[in-house]
Every structure is written in C-alpha cells, then in structure tokens.
Amino acid sequence: MYLEDLIRPAIIHSGEGVAYANQEFCTLIGADTPAELIGEPLDPFITEPEWAVLSDSFEELLNGDTATCRHQLTLDCANETACETIAVSAATTWDGQSQIRTVFISLSQPNLNTSTTLGGNAIDQAPVGVTVADVTLDDEPLIYVNDGFGDITGYPRDEVLGQNCRFLQGDGTRDEPVAKMRAAIDAEQSVTVELRNYRKDGTEFWNRITLSPVENSDGTVTHYLGFQQNISEMKTHQRELLLFETYAEQADSVLFITDAEGVIQYVNPAFERITGYSAAEAIGQTPRILNSGDQDEAFYEEFWETITAGETWEAEIANQTKAGERYETTQRVTPIEDDRGTIQYYVAFEKEITQKQLRRQVLDVLNRVLRHNVRNSVTVIDGYAELLATSSGDVDVQAVADSIREQAGSLESISERTAAIRRLIGLIDSDEDPIQMPLSRTVSTVEQYRSEYADVEIKLAIEDQNSATIVYGAVFEVALKELIENAIEHNDQPTPRIEITITAIEERNMAVVTVADNGPRIPQATWEIIKSGQETPMRHAEGIGLWVIYWSVSTLGGTIELKSNEPRGNKITLEVPLTETLE
C-alpha cells in the first residue's frame, strides 16, 4: 500500500475506529506499532471541540456529500505534547468497505525528508516561493510551503497547507496556462508558465511557476515540487517596452536608440523614410551618418558633455539624408540609466521643424482644396449660363439666377478665406521671432465680434489666465477668429449662441480653448476629410474655414477635437502650447 511510502502521519478509519495507521502516525502519538491502534477510536487523540466538527465532516465524506475536507487540529502527541496539524481527509475503500483516509501535515514544519529531497533550510529560506504538492492525495494538496511563498502571496502557512494551489487564481487568470499545468501534471512532466495570480489582500501579481515531478524509489511520481517567482516588474517592463515599440513604429517622427558609445541599435520606420537609410544600413553606425556639416566641433562637445552627464539635450540642427538632402529638425536626446545610475542607452527623437513642415503641407492642401472648390463653383455657374442662353421660355429664370448668385457668393467667400490662409502661410514662413499673445487679449478679439454681430450671444470665460501667453500668438488668433466666424456664419438659429472657455494649465504648459455653439452639427465625415487633407467636395466656406482652424492649430504644435454640443451644436476643443509664465 502506498501509505507505507508516505513520510507524513496517515491513517485509515471510520466511525468505528482506526482500520490502518502508518509508522509515522504511531511515532507522532507515541504508539509502538500500528497494531496497537487497529480498532481504537480516533477521538482520544483529538481535543473535544475539534472532534465534534471533524466527525460531521467525516459523515459528509462517507455520504458522498463532499470529496475532501481540511481542518486545523491539535493532536495529543507523544510525551504529552500538543501538535498543531492540518488534517486532510478523503473517502476511500479499505478491505472492501467505505473508509476515510486522513493525512496529518505539521504546521511547525511539514516533516518531509528535506535532507534528501528538498535541501533543508536552504529551501525554507529561499528568496522564491517553494511548494510541494502531494499528487497521491485527492485534489493534490500542498503539504509544504516555504517562507518565500508567504512573502509573495501574503498567505500564512496554516491557511494554505492542505489546499490545492488554485486558490491563487482569480478573474484575471487565463485558462491557457492553467490547462498547460494540468496537462503537464497528468503527463508527469515538468512545466513553466506565467499567469496572473492574486495575493490574500486581493491584489494581483504575475507569477512564473515551475513545476517538477518528484519520484519515489520505484519511479512513481508522488509529489510535485513548485517554484513561484513574482515577475510583476518584468511584466510591467515588457508592457512599457511594447507600448514604446508600438509608438516608435507608428510615429511620424524620427526615433533611434544608441548604446552608451553612441552606436545605433534601433531605428523606427520614420527614420528609414526620412533619412533614406534602411535599418540594416543604420544599425551599427553612429549618428554621424546624418551629419550635414552645419554644426561645428564646439556644438558636439557641448552635446556630449550634456548627455554623458545624464541630462537631456535638445537643439535645432540641420541633418543630411542618404541622398545628400538637408532637413532641419529639432532633436532631443535622452540618456537611459540602469538601477546603479550607469548610462546604458541614448534615445534620440527628431521632429522636423514645425513651421517649415507645416508650410509644405499647408501649401499642398491649399492648392488642392481651393482648386477643387473653385472648379466646382465655376462649373455650376457655367452650366446655368449655358442653360439660359439655349433655353426656351419655360425655364424658371429666377431660380437659375438665384443659383448663380449662390455660387458667386461661394466664390466671394472663398476669396475672403484665402486672405486668412495667406496670412497663415506668411506667419509660418516668417523668419522673424514669433509674436507672443497673452491669453487676456482674447477679450478684445471677442469684443470685436460682439460689436459686429449684435444679435449673437457670445460668452467668454478665461480661467487661471495669470500672465500665460501663447508663443505664436498671431497664428492662434487666426484659429480663434475662424472658430468664432464659423460658429456665427453657419448658425441657423434665431439667436446664435457661442460659449468660449479658455483655461491655462500651467503644469502641462498648455492652454485649453473650447468653443461651443448651437448651430447645425458638423458632419464627422467632413471633419475626417479635413484632417486627412484630401481633395473633397466640401461645402466651400465652411470646409475652408474648418481647414484653416485645423492647420493653424497643427502649426502651433497643438491638438484639436470635435464633439457634439448637447442638446444641439458643436464643441471644438483646442490645446495649444504656452510659453513660460512671464515675471
């Protein structure tokens, strides 16, 4: 019988007394041989309150109401000592009769043969969790856990001995690694999995579990040795690395990483696209392959002094592509240190200088959008003029004339909008220092529109303005005026209402501007087309006005978002950079 091979006290019993006891149980309670205990009741070895609870559980086992039970018991042991144990019981068959098998696990320290199996105190004090599960018992309970297991999971030894280790699982535990462990145990093989587990206080952690079978002298697997390692920090690092790689791969701007010696280890797709160097050509080289010759030796000396001191360096530089073309960029290089403060890598991020980049983009979209809108209007006018010239007297001349006037008005509106666009391009292309605009100046801008449009309700709230200013104030003013004009001119309500809120968020160094109206909803499809810069049959004035707003904010290096304004209208929110607070 396999009970002879156990190194823990174990008995087989029923309500009528002990049917079998191994030598370990005899030694525990002070009996000389197992024969002394056959037929003896079990209750003399167990304190009275605990026996009452235990006997109820035994009855449930024999009736088939439960598969296993676990109780913490105090046994009356040899030399009149009290032994704190965990009793794990299950129904079994002995000599053709229904009986109960109970194994006792010591709480002071499970009496495994650690000298030959577990390495003694070295296992007890290991910095990782170490467990032993008995696969010969029902539900494969834990019969040993070291202190490291408690440190990782927060569970004390008396709460886990005698239980299957699945109590660490929870809602976030995936089925796949659990099934992989189960399959390995059934096949008596070793396995390593990583899964989300939960501590006693409910907090989750990532657990790397390695299970290895332990055989007895005849080669039968009787136990599984488990190692638990908290890898939550590693998982966080992997998650952050994945986010970084995702951002780097999708970013429109150049990003590359060098080692501590300045040798390139990684480049993103934007690097390949903009510089003309493939990843294979760049990796292993230094950033000197991009040197245009515009920066002198003193410039690079300052650069290396800054980053080797662990500080971030940023400057506007001129680089050169593989084809020899120069491009101007703002480059930021950040040192990455290890836990000891030693620099391991440098991350370089390049962004093409905003004004020059947006100028090319603005001119390209302007050419296509204006050409498309003007061509549409001219085509309509030409068609109606031909209709009048060739038609009979049954043509509704008034309707045709109204259509011609409408298209002519659209052309006039387009002409007016181009003035704002020309001003925008001039501001982008200017070599002069940018004119800063205090947020408080928006008050006078709003007053101009209040005076010009007396039937329009315009509310303005400037929160926490202090002395905050916007760097390219003239460009911001173009966007703000277009926002107000768009909200007024396309409003179909008897009383157009516009609410403007401006907030300076100095900790983020950003101004948040919200313009909400009660006019007709701007179609989301139109908005997406404006952002993409595609040629489209947009409504002439509205489309170009929104286009100016979008690209003005983009020029500032800001963001723009369109939402509905309940119960009616649009809410456009801008975020644009602020300068440093004025003294």
Same domain, 47 and 65: yes
Same domain, 486 and 361: yes
Same domain, 513 and 550: yes
The yes-or-no verdict on residue 61 having pLDDT over 90 is no
Whole-number Å distance between alpha carbons of 418 and 48: 97
The yes-or-no verdict on residue 540 having pLDDT over 70 is no
pLDDT band of 117, cuts 50, 70, 90: very low
Please compute the mean of the pLDDT values over residues 97-118 and round it to a whole number. Answer: 66
Same domain, 144 and 69: no
Same domain, 14 and 64: yes
> Within 13 Å and on the Cβ side, how many CA atoms surround 95?
6
pLDDT score of 23: 87
The yes-or-no verdict on residue 533 having pLDDT over 70 is no
The yes-or-no verdict on residue 195 having pLDDT over 70 is yes
- Which of 324, 352, 380 is the endpoint of a domain? 352
Whole-number Å distance between alpha carbons of 483 and 514: 10
pLDDT score of 139: 87
Is 184 within a domain?
A: yes
Same domain, 346 and 362: no
- Which of 215, 230, 245 is the endpoint of a domain? 230
The yes-or-no verdict on residue 153 having pLDDT over 90 is yes
Same domain, 185 and 136: yes
| Range of lowest pLDDT (106-120, 315-329, 445-459) | 106-120
Same domain, 567 and 456: yes
Is 112 within a domain?
A: no
Whole-number Å distance between alpha carbons of 314 and 252: 19
pLDDT score of 311: 92
Between 428 and 44, name the one with better pLDDT.
44
pLDDT score of 124: 59
Task: Count how many domains the chain has.
Answer: 4
pLDDT score of 111: 45
CATH number for 172:
3.30.450.20
Same domain, 220 and 241: no
Is 582 within a domain?
A: no
pLDDT score of 258: 92
**Are the C-beta atoms of residues 220 and 134 closer than 8 Å to each other?**
no
Which residues constitute the domain of residue 173?
A: 121-230
Whole-number Å distance between alpha carbons of 320 and 276: 10
CA distances from residue 266 to 209, 300, 390 in whole angstroms, order as listed = 33, 21, 69
Q: What is the pLDDT of residues 541-567, one digit of tens each?
A: 446 677 777 777 766 667 788 899 989
Same domain, 555 and 454: yes
pLDDT score of 371: 57
Q: In the chain, what percentage of residues exceed pLDDT 70?
A: 74
Please compute the mean of the pLDDT values over residues 500-529 and round it to a whole number. Answer: 85
Is 572 within a domain?
A: yes
CATH number for 384:
3.30.565.10
Same domain, 346 and 369: no
Same domain, 130 and 99: no
CA distances from residue 436 to 52, 127, 444, 489 in whole angstroms, order as listed = 85, 59, 16, 28
pLDDT score of 383: 67
Q: What is the pLDDT of residues 283-311, one digit of tens each?
A: 999 999 998 888 888 899 999 999 999 99
pLDDT band of 421, cuts 50, 70, 90: low
Q: What is the pLDDT of residues 170-192, one digit of tens each?
A: 998 999 999 999 999 999 999 99
Is 116 within a domain?
A: no
Quote the DSSP letter at residue 132: E
Answering whether pTM is above 0.85, one says no
CA distances from residue 581 to 468, 469, 576 in whole angstroms, order as listed = 5, 7, 15
For residue 13, the one-letter residue type is H
**Are the C-beta atoms of residues 545 and 488 closer than 8 Å to each other?**
no
Q: Taking phi first (over 0 means left), then psi (-120 to 50 degrees means alpha), and beta for anything else, what does residue 17 get? A: left
- Which of 352, 368, 402 is the endpoint of a domain? 352
Whole-number Å distance between alpha carbons of 202 and 199: 5
Is 113 within a domain?
A: no
User: What is the rounded average pLDDT for all residues in the chain?
Assistant: 79
Is 441 within a domain?
A: yes
